[in-house]
């Protein structure tokens, strides 16, 4: 399984909004500048996150986006699933692609174990955890 730039940038976008939550609504232009990501690409991603109810927006001079919930209520897995869809390493683990041989296929268990490990990893990391890690990194890296 490979996470696309859409998934990676969505995570960076959500982290940026969480890091700057005290600033209110934040424009995509501001996030794009801070993250070094195309504004047009972020606009596509924010639409997905908005449709999923992860962010809300307002228009006007002070317009932009902000999280709808506290950072501890978002997981990396949740964000990735909005942008990537299934995190399954093989299509036979996806409901719409279940093969008729899965009951007898010995490799099915291998792929299910891989998917379980992926889900456990990404669902155990919250946006608030990443915010704290980022703050520590900035403190650590700005010392010298």
Q: What is the pLDDT of residue 144?
A: 44
All domains of the chain, ordered by start, with CATH?
5-86+126-138 (1.10.10.10)
Report the candidate in 112, 41, 114 with the shortest Cα–Cα distance to residue 83: 41
Q: What angle do CA 35, 30, 123 make, to 5 degrees?
A: 50
> Cα(67)–Cα(55) distance, rounded to whole angstroms?
4
The neighbouring-strand residues paired with 26 are 65
Report the candidate in 85, 87, 86, 90 with the shortest Cα–Cα distance to residue 108: 90
pTM of this prediction? 0.88
Say which residue, 96 or 126, is predicted with more confidence.
126
**Residues 88-104: pLDDT tens digits?**
898 888 876 667 777 78
């Amino acid at each position: 399984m490979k996470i696309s730039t859409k998934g990676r940038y969505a995570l960076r976008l959500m982290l940026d909004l969480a890091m700057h939550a005290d600033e209110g609504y934040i424009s995509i232009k501001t996030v794009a500048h801070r993250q070094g990501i195309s504004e047009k690409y972020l606009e596509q991603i924010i639409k997905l996150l908005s449709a999923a109810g992860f962010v809300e927006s307002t228009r006007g001079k002070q317009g932009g986006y902000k999280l709808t919930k506290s950072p501890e209520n978002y997981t990396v897995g949740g964000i990735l699933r909005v942008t990537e869809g299934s995190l399954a390493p093989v299509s036979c683990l996806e409901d719409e692609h279940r093969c008729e041989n899965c009951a007898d296929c010995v490799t099915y268990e291998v792929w299910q174990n891989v998917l379980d490990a992926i889900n456990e990893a990404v669902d155990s990391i919250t946006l608030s955890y990443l915010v704290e890690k980022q703050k520590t990194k900035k403190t650590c890296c700005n010392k010298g």
